[in-house]
Structure 1
């Protein structure tokens, strides 16, 4: 049998190909809203169903938690899947989206993968074995000046607007370049790849960050303790940054980091 990392990569790559095929057929209208600015496409549900089927086939009896069909953490082995992170982009014909899958065992992320099919980029990590981009070793940026940092500030409809605006304003006041791409998973992957110095979001779900947190850590970055209560169905804030700016980013955001 293939090793765990290869199995995860197989699943997300196949899911990503399915997503890209559907994306090329979309017309910017084939979606519904679960709530204001909370998009759902038929592709989300099809891909999550595919991932669940593959996990059951390859790892019978494992628990699965997904954005669309839910699930519970249970005990023992757990998979967390986001079938399309960046659904609003996908629905509006913007090619910035990905499939994210993470595997937990004994309350620790053991392996994860994020695949962006539009750019054919596979971000992967295994606990204690480093992070890779399309097979090549990946490291966070070494930028140590906050005034030269590029950071992404994610937005959620569950965030109080004034708090989000204040965070963006503080970032600008510190001299940072600020952007928002609309995919938390890719935001974390870009920190791991050294494309951004930090990603921060005040309210985000576990399936958005499960793989990305491990990938950032294994690429040498710092993150906050998102899993502090071991309740994988809870939302939380997230901060991921390179090591050089960890202390300053913690001060800027008010979010405590772990290495």
Structure 2
């Protein structure tokens, strides 16, 4: 595990300011409530003008601040490689954003090699900012957060992300396994915010069969610092392509893992 350095802490503070400005830009461009505004890359996979604008804004600012760092975006791919790499999802929850809904965020994570070391997630319509620095805690609006204490799956709330890349039978199988535990299923349309909800205890678990690095990069240090258990996403293909993730509070993680057949190791 990389050790803490002032350089990483400085980068987190800079990232928080850049993400805040990017979130303001996204809010200024947000469509009014109603039918979706944007285009579809695939079924239910939305792209808006804001996605490109926000990613370009963050890329320009972070490149100016840290030209030696790598940079990877959902829309632009791997722009630069580096031992330190920024990974951005300009609008996570675009399907919500495109309809003028509130559950979406700007997400920026920092990896050192293959270790997530810092992350910022801002959901401006919800007035929430999550930050985490490896070894120094996870926070929501400046207050320390931790995973839920729920131990009984029958009292748990579990979210499962939906993707058109997952066969319907697989999705139904996993949802059925969640419900068979007695847990309450949910689906909110933003992987980054769902993982943040696990970190702060609003959810007891989250699974998604196919999800990308930019969706989770900022949330992974949140989860680690909040005491959640997470499947080895980065080591099962997540560094280079889509992979499966499970995150849960430590009390139900093993039970959930066995129920949905997603290993924690």
> TM-score interval w.r.t. the shorter chain?
over 0.9
* Offset, 1:25: 4.9
Rounded Cα–Cα distance in structure 2 between residues aligned with 1:44 and 1:92: 14
The Cα shift of 1:13 comes to 1.1
Counterpart residue number, 1:86: 93
**5+ unaligned residues in a row in structure 1: which ranges?**
none
Query: In terms of mean alpha carbon deviation, does 45-54 or 29-38 score higher?
Result: 29-38
For the 8 Å contact 2:212–2:238, the answer to whether it is kept is: no
User: Aligned-pair distance for 1:98?
Assistant: 0.2
Structure 1 runs, 4 residues or longer, greater than 4 Å off: 24-27
Contact (CA 8 Å) 2:31, 2:99: kept in 1 or not?
no
| 54-63 or 179-188, larger mean C-alpha shift | 54-63
Greater alpha carbon shift after TM alignment, 229-238 vs 46-55:
229-238
Q: Take 2:238 and 2:177, find their aligned partners in 1: how far apart are those partners? A: 30
Match of 1:164 among 154, 157, 171: 171
Taking the aligned partners of 1:31 and 1:41, their CA distance within structure 2 comes to 4
User: Alignment partner for residue 245 of structure 2, among 238, 243, 246?
Assistant: 238
The reply on whether 1:134 has 2:141 as its aligned counterpart is yes
Instruction: Check if 1:16 corresponds to 2:23.
Output: yes
C-alpha distance in structure 2 between counterparts of 1:176 and 1:203, whole Å: 22
Deviates more, 1:176-185 or 1:105-114: 105-114
Of 226, 230, 233, which residue of structure 1 is paired with 2:233?
Answer: 226
Q: CA RMSD in A?
A: 1.7
The count of aligned residue pairs is: 258
Change (3 A) 1:74 1:231: farther
CA contact under 8 A between 2:39 and 2:47: conserved in structure 1?
Answer: yes
SS in 1 for 2:218: helix
* Mapping 1:59-98, distance limit 5 Å: 59-71=66-78, 74-98=81-105
Offset of 1:101 from its aligned partner? 0.4
Cross-structure match for 1:154 = 161
